Structures are given as structure tokens and as C-alpha cells.
Amino acid sequence: MSGPSETRTNLDLSPDVGHRRTRPIRVVIAEDSYLIREFLAETLSQAPEVEVVAVCTNGKELQQATDMWQPDVVLTDIRMPPSGADEGIRVAASLRETSPETGVVVLSQYAEPSYALALLEKGTGRRAYLLKERIRNREELIGAIETVAEGGSVIDPQIVDVLIEARSRAAHSRLSELTPREREVLAEIASGKSNGAIAESLVLTKRAVEKHVNSIFSKLNLPEMQDASRRVKAALIFLSEEETEIRV
């Protein structure tokens, strides 16, 4: 956990707050890694600004703890049992509906823009997304907890950089030139369907499908060659760029 600390550079979207808290911020910690969980509990228990009311190891325990303690802030890993996928994001989404005054600080091992977007899609207020390396800096971690407790938002600068880069790639994607119908046709091509099968699937005439296919080849800048080869190349472009968009 040791390492060089750095000044706080997170994107802080917190509003001006005209009052000070008269009691510590009640925090529930959720982390399936024993070492990180103990580090967080020990670090925050020494901070007078914070009161750790519960420590959880999985999403089920976290949900139960938030129901029982009604914390000001939840500090949670993204990937925990039972799903091992996005438990932290699911709990954050649930709290948005059931306890909108509860802040959530999500911790992630990697810069995963899709999770950041899922966390923030219904608003940035009372939400923070930090990389786990940030927990080495106690002031930065507590600062994020205080910010979301007061209604603000903190986004790790590395996440911001990744989102900007990903959006830039998407803006220059060759798929952006296609119409919605052409993207549908290309998706069918990528699944291995013939023009006749595409026509049946999308309720189009075969002639209309052929026109869409030719337009797709033109917009993707696929030169004249065997039609089968162009279909394969178009499918590869679609699959590679569509995967990037999904991750973003």
C-alpha cells in the first residue's frame, strides 16, 4: 500500500456548501479483498471526520448494512461476490432510488469507463469513482468521502482521460458514417447472414438489402474485390469498433 503520494487532481464537481457537519460522516465499507478491506477500515477509523459503522465482504452484506445503518457514504469495490461483476455499481443504482442522500465512492482496480458511465448515468451528485491506487493517499480518500457526503462528485483523472480518448475514437469511427439501418444490416452481415436472410430478418426486400450493403462497402472504403471478402472485412470492422463502443 506504500507509494509516493500526489496532490489531489481529481475532477471535483462539488457544489458550494455553506455549512459544516456537526458529526462524523457515517461510512459503510464493502471490499472482498481482506488486505484492502482492513487497510480501509484502519485508515478511516483513525480519521475524526469519519465513523465506520460497518465493514462488508460482498454485495449482499452491503445491501443489508445500508438498510440497517442508513450511512452517509458507502465506500465500495465494484467487483464483489456474489456475482463477481458489478455489485458496487448495482448497489449504487439501487441507492439512487431508495436513499438518494447516501453518497457512494466506488473503487476500481482499473480505469473502466463503462463502469464509470453506469455509475454516473443518472446524475453525478453524491458519486465518486476512484482508482484503488488513490487509497494510499488518506487525505485524497477522505476528501472524496466528504465531497460526496456534501452532494458533490469526484472522478479520477485517469478515468476522465480514458473517457475523452474513447469518445474521440468513437467520433472518428468509420461506423459513424453509417445510417441506423445500415448498422442493422452490417450487424446481420457480422452474424454471418446472407442477403436473403437479412431481408427476411429486417423485413426488407432483397434489392433494398443489396443497396444497403453496397452503401456500407462504400462508406467503409472497401475497394472492389470478391463480395465475400468485403463482407468479411466489413464484419471485422463492425465487431472491433462495436466492442470498443460497448466498453465505453
Residue 5 domain flag: no
pLDDT tens digits for range 103-125: 999 999 888 878 888 888 888 89
Distance of CA 105 to the CA centre of its chain: 13
Residue 42 domain flag: yes
Residue 4 domain flag: no
Residue 113 domain flag: yes
What torsion, rounded to 10 degrees, do the Cα atoms 8, 13, 110, 239 define? -140
pLDDT tens digits for range 129-170: 999 998 999 999 999 999 999 999 998 888 877 776 666 555
For the chain, the farthest-separated pair of C-alpha atoms sits apart, in whole angstroms, at 74
What torsion, rounded to 10 degrees, do the Cα atoms 134, 140, 141, 143 define? -150
The helix/strand/coil state of 156 is: coil
Contact residues for 215 (Cβ-Cβ < 8 A; gap 6+): 182
Cα angle at 38 between 34 and 41, to 5 degrees?
140
Query: What is the full DSSP assignment across 56-124?
Result: ESSHHHHHHHHHHH--SEEEEESS-TTTTSSHHHHHHHHHHHH-TT-EEEEEESS--HHHHHHHHTT--
- pLDDT score, position 222: 85
Same-domain status, 126 and 207:
no
Residue 87: CB atoms within 10 Å: 23
The helix/strand/coil state of 172 is: coil
Nearest CA to 156 among 142, 140, 167? Answer: 140
Residue 3 domain flag: no
Segments forming the whole domain that contains residue 16: 11-166
Same-domain status, 152 and 230:
no
For the chain, the domain total comes to: 2
Listed residues 111, 140, 166: the one ending a domain: 166
Same-domain status, 134 and 239:
no
Listed residues 104, 137, 166: the one ending a domain: 166
Same-domain status, 84 and 185:
no
- pLDDT score, position 144: 95
- pLDDT score, position 245: 47
Same-domain status, 182 and 225:
yes
The CATH number covering residue 224 comes to 1.10.10.10
Residue 21: CB atoms within 10 Å: 12
DSSP category for residue 53: E
The CATH number covering residue 150 comes to 3.40.50.2300
The helix/strand/coil state of 27 is: strand
- pLDDT score, position 166: 63
Same-domain status, 80 and 180:
no
Pairing between β-strand 11-12 and β-strand 153-155 as defined by DSSP bridges: antiparallel
Same-domain status, 33 and 113:
yes
Listed residues 137, 166, 195: the one ending a domain: 166
Residue 2 domain flag: no
Q: What is the mean pLDDT of each run of 10 residues along the chain (248 residues)?
A: 38 50 93 96 96 96 95 96 87 93 94 83 90 92 96 87 65 76 90 91 93 92 74 82 50
Same-domain status, 17 and 48:
yes
Integer CA distances (angstroms), 116 to 93, 103, 113, in order: 12, 15, 5
pTM of the model: 0.64
Residue 27 domain flag: yes
Nearest CA to 69 among 99, 46, 32? Answer: 99
